[in-house]
Structure 1
Amino acid sequence: MKPITIIKVTISDINELQKIGLQTFKETFADSNSEENMKSYLKEGFSVEKLTTELNNENSEFYFAKIDNEVIGYLKVNFGESQTELKDNKALEIERIYVSKEFHGKSIGQLLYSKAIEVAKHKGSEYAWLGVWEENPRAIRFYEKNGFVAFDKHIFKLGDDEQTDIMMKLKLN
């Protein structure tokens, strides 16, 4: 396989971010959710307005995984007040790691995950945390393999469907 580069996303990359975001979310969750709930979430969650706000937020960072200038996955991390739940200054939240289906099993997720941990350590975070859908065993196994342990649950709304996310954390030092 060709070399993979991990690069920080800027506002000028918003169209590519929207494209990979929509594509990978659909690939991951379309089969398990109603078309209506998917449409509603995708329209809201990946609107140019929402992505612009997120990209301009100094407490959030996005990174692309690229091969030959093609975006094949991405990462979103949050710290401080931008965290969706805990808002702990000693923590970094991994909000999203998504990889195009055709690149599953090729360690792209692991590269993006490693970038998240690098950012967390650079920020002096004591731990990283995330929420993962309880019906996504592939992702749960990935995080367990990387040392994350479940510590709580929370509700994630996809359209009008309330889904349970398992909250997991990893101590960094």
Structure 2
Amino acid sequence: MNEITTQFTIRPAQWSDAPALRDLMEKTFVDTYASYNTPANMQMYISTRFGLTQVQLELRDENVHYLIVEKQSKLIGFAKLVQNHSAEGLENKKALEIERIYLDKAYHGQQLGAQLMQACLEWGKESTTEVVWLGVWEHNPKAIRFYEKMGFERFGAHTFTLGTEVQNDFLMKKEI
């Protein structure tokens, strides 16, 4: 267990975390993107990606790892790490994707995002990853600045479909 302060911890998710993790996934995604997308597209995405059964399947998948930020037994942030998942341009590297990294907006500005990202990078090093990568929506400058501050650099782009809308994500990577 990684102590952040006496109030916060970062730890691997457990099977028993699935319901709370599912709820946090939906809440943070809605908080981040609802104002930019239609309710129908948001609901379509949430229903296919954030169902309890889906989260439970991912918790059993040996290539998927969740790290969660917890405050007094309440989940307030998480990162979804996917091993052996590469992107164009990284085919010859042992890559780790940070598929999702979110923190409840009530806890923004407390350096918890940086602590969670550091925990992701440390997890990657321990699993002998060569490069960590992620996709970030091109219209999310706050996240892009955060990733740049954490040492990530752009190396490409890909499309991301949210409901029926096709959006563009920048791909960013960090060698570790």
Give the TM bin, normalised by the shorter chain: over 0.9
Partner of 1:27: 31
Q: Are 2:146 and 1:142 aligned?
A: yes
Q: Which moved more, 1:2-11 or 1:135-144?
A: 2-11
Percent identity, please.
38
Deviation at 1:3, TM superposition (A): 2.3
Q: Are 2:125 and 1:121 aligned?
A: yes
2-structure distance, mates of 1:74, 1:25? 12
Unaligned stretches of 5+ residues in structure 1: none
Runs of 4+ in 1 over 3 A off after TM superposition: 84-89
2-structure distance, mates of 1:69, 1:110? 20
TM-score by length of 2: 0.92
Deviation at 1:84, TM superposition (A): 6.7
Match for residue 41 of structure 1 among 23, 39, 45: 45
Q: Deviations over 1:40-73 (max 9, x none)?
A: 1111110122111111100110011011111111
Q: Check the 8 A contact 1:61/1:78 in 2, yes or no.
A: yes
Alignment-mate amino acid for residue 3 of structure 1: Q
| Structural RMSD (CA) | 1.5
2-structure distance, mates of 1:52, 1:3? 27
Q: Are 2:115 and 1:107 aligned?
A: no
Q: Are 2:82 and 1:78 aligned?
A: yes
Q: Check the 8 A contact 2:94/2:130 in 1, yes or no.
A: yes
2-structure distance, mates of 1:41, 1:84? 22
Partner of 2:22: 18
1-structure distance, mates of 2:71, 2:60? 25
Q: Deviations over 1:120-165 (max 9, x none)?
A: 1001111111000001111100000111110010000000000000
Q: Check the 8 A contact 1:2/1:67 in 2, yes or no.
A: no
Q: Check the 8 A contact 1:153/1:166 in 2, yes or no.
A: yes
1-structure distance, mates of 2:62, 2:175? 24
Match for residue 63 of structure 2 among 55, 59, 71: 59
Partner of 1:133: 137
Change (3 A) 1:34 1:84: farther
Match for residue 153 of structure 1 among 134, 157, 163: 157
Q: Check the 8 A contact 2:86/2:96 in 1, yes or no.
A: no
Deviation at 1:111, TM superposition (A): 1.2
Deviation at 1:32, TM superposition (A): 0.6
Alignment-mate amino acid for residue 38 of structure 2: S
Alignment-mate amino acid for residue 38 of structure 1: M
Aligned length: 170
Unaligned stretches of 5+ residues in structure 2: none
1-structure distance, mates of 2:82, 2:114? 18
SS of the equivalent of 1:143 reads helix
